[in-house]
Structure 1
């Protein structure tokens, strides 16, 4: 497989814009048929994809990527089957395009409809996970959009192979392959080109680490749907139930430590900690959780590391966790205000008044009472696949499913009315 490094990103974006017109005209049934064709074609070319993935894995081993990073990068027949099944699940989702959100008739008889329509062309900038190549494409096409994909260099061979197969599938469908563009250059300038092509790209969605998201948000002139880093907090209140607290902490930290909705900081009320620290310390030991703590936490947890400023801001993506002991719920909320990323925050308590205060005052896309932050996920929340989790407040917030990839258009029907 040869990777073309000298490419014309603007030309690709123009092709995507033309193809977006075609996609926008398709019916739900036609789009669903396309997704199922892509799914079947991916399953029929597993060996081709795995061979390309092995090139990326070999490069990762040579460069000394972390175990968590290599896990995100690695593909298998089972993971490719999951890609395909994910596309079929998107096909089963309700199509938001064409939904009439509201309608009314003016006194002069002019009929007004507020209708969901595709955004147009989505620019997707992401890092190690090859699954994003498939997931983002499926969501973009189902919502009537074209997409320009710019994956990270660590997964360049895997992503190129996946796009090759998707293009092969699209040749059998009503959607032109130009609707799915992949920027195969590893030159950073290719990514930067996407930032400023407002005339061709309607929205940028960055998905990855803090540095990537910051670069896009600070440099793009194209509108950005910001997906945020997950420095997620669990606050164990004075009135927390021990069994619930331990179960939620273990799930939020250890279920999948390398994802953005995993807990990275544990804040504990001092009275609860004094009463239950033995059980908490034991559960951390059982699950090999490494504590980076304040003075009290370091004093109590064996092997704890004193926390510096970077520990309160860190998205560890591992079995490390920052631990802070506080005197009040307001101290916990202040800490979250100072260090949170507006992603997912949780309070564990049997005090409904405390829970209500926390959920009203904490500024985040998702706030939980007596539940794990791991539920911040489109599938887990019951509305299907997601293209990312937005931590901003305009257009979309939280897990972004199909409706987030649409905008609205006012359609007016008259009979000669003039003003």
Structure 2
């Protein structure tokens, strides 16, 4: 039964996930272009004001970043849970390659960033080049069409999911400033209660969602970033046997399109409203700018390739038969598309609006550069591979 479910996961559900993510990536590209054009047009003031206008006690941008993005993290948690139970992470031998690749893709970029910024006020931005944007990366990969082997799609997807988990842990550990222990205790108490409901096999989704909203409120007021709630709630929602009838599957399936085509586009529009000044050249020479560029464009592919090579060399895992080191290096550049998570970490790392604005611009530029390099290399290497095969 479990093998049958795994086959289902690797075909139908994975295809659905990949198709949604690649479509979302193309939508995000469009939203980013529109946002940049509006922010630098005659409508700039009105457009920027839209995201800063008050909705209740906070700005619209705040509710998107701290509220709606929690749902995005809930989806990431559900996808990670499914990977662990039924997907590429369920078999430790198969999981080790993307795990090592993701580890290298986080440590090397952060190390390169710190090399330029350690001891400065900008050193808190070390987490910025660690992340991979799943939607953008798969969106670029999808442009290559049917020539992309399934194993490469799975490798990039698993790498990006693990990468997101790493980014979540970094946010929880390094970007929490002041903790209000009582609120945190209440939030964790609610999580424990929901875990008990899970163990009691309560499959009604309503108590988990209501409990999640209440937990989000107390987490928000604890000092720990509230979006972490989404991931934690994902792991107490009943997974069952993982079939289409399971609560986890139904929720994951329901969330895919709203997240891909509403929440992430809103995040892109709100957070890429960047006014480009006349000092772009000087911005590129700033240490934190060079750290982000070096981390995403060089550190990502370098870390992914080196750690993957080490893992295979010492016999911990093996390279899929239809892949080679050229394709691993090439797809490593797609790992340098940081965007959503990189911008998210930027908002937590810096308080200065000018630095945040500059960092966002550098993230966009670096992600675009890494994506173009990865696309060109993959197009060439996959073509050569297909010619050799034929």
The reply to whether TM is greater than 0.5 is: no
Structure with the larger RCO, 1 or 2 (CA within 8 Å, 6+ apart): 2
What TM-score does the superposition give when structure 2 sets the normalisation length?
0.23
- Compare the two structures and name the one with the higher helix fraction: 2
What TM-score does the superposition give when structure 1 sets the normalisation length?
0.21
User: Which entry has the higher C-alpha Rg, 1 or 2?
Assistant: 1
